[in-house]
Structures are given as structure tokens and as C-alpha cells.
Amino acid sequence: MAPNPQPNLNIPSGSTPVTVSAIDTTLWLSGIPTESMYDPPIPGFGRVRCGCWSLLITHPSGRNLLYDLGMRKDWWNCAPAVGIKEYLENGTLESLDVKKNVAEILEEGGVGLGSVEAVVWSHFHFDHTGDMSSFPPSTKLIMGEGGKEAFMPGWPVDPEAQTLESDFEGREVVEVDFKNSNLKIGGFRAVDYFGDGSFYLLDSPGHAIGHVNALARTGIDPPEYVHMCGDSAHHCGEIRPSKYLPLPDDISPSPLPLTHATPCPGGLFSKVLRNGSKENHILELIDPGAGTYKQQKYALIYDDEKLKETVREVEGFDACEEVFTVLAHDWTLKGVIEEWPRSLNGWSKKGWKTESRWKFLKDFGEAVVHGA
């Protein structure tokens, strides 16, 4: 099946690429049962098990940014209101492990932390904010719109906060000024961070207050980009298939190589297609804690309608052949992409988009092969 015409993302022209590297933050968690997190529940698709990517962005001038930090190594020192210990005790989280902070990983690789100009939090959740106190005060913290009012001050100044005051203390905290930007990329309001078209911050609301995506120009000829999506979606099944990228009749490489050789028939997955549609993403995120939060701003889904709009925009970026989508928790990329200290630049020539695009379907193998 041929894909439908791609949307026009209206990415401004530019001649300056940045280098983008994916860092395995060493977080590994086995989390919420998927039947309480996704609609519809799919038999055999048990718990969310994943790591978390941090992205290092290096401008030709030598300026360094980080997009997300994963989770702090001493996770027990997160704000008490996050409730991690309770999640582990009641089984909401099955297991949790973090071996290193991103700051340690960089230093071990020879990157001085003083060279990191800023850290961009895609959003405030504990598995993305890391430990800002491990960076020098010269490293700025960048948040999306509304972040300062919603999440500052942190704990213990605000006893109910899920952020930590130590992350803000002594450093400049910058809120991205989307209101005064006339730039839109796709349907997202955008800010050109370096001012040369190499790296854009994108306003991507819904999952959390101030959620920010990013778009990096990683190649000029041919043009290529890396779209950093944070938790705009947690699983590729939330953005694929789509009206721009229907499920193909033949899937290559096969997502189920042990039972179905390449090419794998797309019809095999008809059992898990929402509404039976090859043009409708398979999973819809729901909030397992809906109605239980003291403050709605801490919910898994802050604004359901805006999140759906954001997901539709991400689908458009994802279907564009010049754009490589990186969801923070997409561990199907593990073993496909080259990780830091190597870069994602040149991903198009290396075929990583094609190799990884339908790999997530392996999560539904039990349902489609054994009819669970």
C-alpha cells in the first residue's frame, strides 16, 4: 500500500547542521500494566518495559545542549510527592534501576560539564528531569510554556511539588517564549534556538504543562532532521500506522523474524488495528490515575484534546522521509542506531528509519501469532 501524500511541515531553509547523539541514560524500568495505560488493551502486551534517551546536540560553534536527562541515579531522592516508593510497593512499578547520571556518562566520555550551555526538559516527569544539580550553575535549564508557574519552586520549598528545588537553585531557568514567535513548523509553534535554522524548540502540549519537542537539522544534502518527541508518545503504536503512513501489505524487515520471514504480511496484524483501520495508530494513551491526583497538573495526561492534536502533528513529522522520530522511551531503536559518542547524523543513508519503523509490532506478537 502506497503512503498518502505527506504533510508540508514548512521547515525553514538552512545551511547549518548540528550533531545529535543519543545517550542511553541507563534507566531501565518495568512499569504500569499496559491494559491500564492504553486503549484498547491487547492480550500478551503486558507491562511497559523501557529505558530513556537523552539527546546531546552540538552546534558547529561548540555550543552544547542536552534534551532530557532520564532519571537521577539516586531515584529515592526524588520529591516525595512523586511516589516512586509507593509505586514499587503497590506494584504499579515492577522494577526500577538507574546506573549513572547523564553528567557521569558525559564526563567519562571526556565532555566537560562546563561546556553544556543548557538542558532542555521535554517536561517535568521524574524519568526525564534527571539530576540538574550534577551540572554547574552555568548550565541553564530550559522549560516549556507555563513551566515556571506550574513547577517552581520545587520540593521541599513546596511540600507537594514533584520537582526538586535543588534542580533550580543557583542557575538560570528559561521558559521558552513561544507567544512572541511567528514561526510554525508543522502545526507546532517554534523557536529557532541558535538563530540559524539548525535547531528548533517546538511547543507540543497535552501530555504535560510545557511539554517541548525539538527538531534538529542533521544533514543538508540530502536534507535530514531528527525529531525529539519526549513523551508526546510513549510507544510507536501511538503514532503508527497513520493516514500518512498506512500499515503496508508487506513489512520489511519482519518485526517477527522467528515466526514470519521477511517480508512479513501486514494483514497478520489486523487483529490489533484500532477500528480495523490500516491508517489509524494502534494505541491510544489513557491516564491510569485519572481522578486520583491532588492537582491535575501532575496527571499523566494534562489535556487530552491537546495531546491528541500533538499526536496528529507527530504522525505528520514521522511520516516525512526527511525526519527521523525519536520517542524518549522507544527502545526498538536500541541495536539499530549508533549511540553516543557516535551520532545520529547520516541516519537516512544508514537506513535506520526503514529498519526501525515497524519494529514495535513485535510487542503484539503473542496476540497475532498465538491468538491470545
Q: Give the Cα separation of 104 and 276 in Å (integer).
A: 47
pLDDT given for residue 327 in this prediction = 98
Q: Give the Cα separation of 206 and 334 in Å (integer).
A: 27
**Is the distance from CB of 255 to CB of 265 less than 8 angstroms?**
no
Asked if pLDDT for residue 371 goes beyond 80, the answer is: no
Q: Which of 35-44, 160-169, 293-302 has the lowest mean pLDDT?
A: 293-302
pTM: 0.96
Give the CATH class of 19-369.
alpha beta
| Local confidence band at 370 (pLDDT 50, 70, 90 cut-offs) | confident
Q: Which residue has the higher pLDDT, 329 or 33?
A: 329
pLDDT given for residue 3 in this prediction = 53
Q: Give the Cα separation of 311 and 349 in Å (integer).
A: 27
- 194-216 confidence digits (pLDDT tens): 999 999 999 999 999 999 999 99
pLDDT given for residue 272 in this prediction = 95
Q: What number is the average pLDDT over the span 26-35?
A: 92
Q: Which residues contact 83 (CB under 8 A, 6 or more apart)?
A: none
Asked if pLDDT for residue 245 goes beyond 70, the answer is: yes
- 68-112 confidence digits (pLDDT tens): 999 999 999 999 999 999 999 999 899 999 999 999 999 999 999
DSSP string computed for 324-337: EEE-TT-GGGTTTS
pLDDT given for residue 11 in this prediction = 97
Asked if pLDDT for residue 184 goes beyond 70, the answer is: yes
- 287-306 confidence digits (pLDDT tens): 888 777 777 888 889 999 99
Q: Give the Cα separation of 202 and 189 in Å (integer).
A: 6
Angle at 86 between CA 85 and CA 91, to 5 degrees: 105
pLDDT given for residue 140 in this prediction = 98
Q: Give the Cα separation of 53 and 65 in Å (integer).
A: 14
Among 314, 89, 319, 70, which Cα is nearest to 215's?
314
Q: In the structure grid, which three cell numbers stand for residue 11, read together?
A: 521547515
Helices and strands per DSSP (H, E), number in the chain = 9, 19
Domain residue ranges of the chain, discontinuous segments joined by + = 19-369
Asked if pLDDT for residue 1 goes beyond 50, the answer is: no
Which stretches within the chain are classed as H helix?
Answer: 84-90, 102-108, 126-129, 147-151, 165-168, 304-319, 347-350, 352-356, 365-369
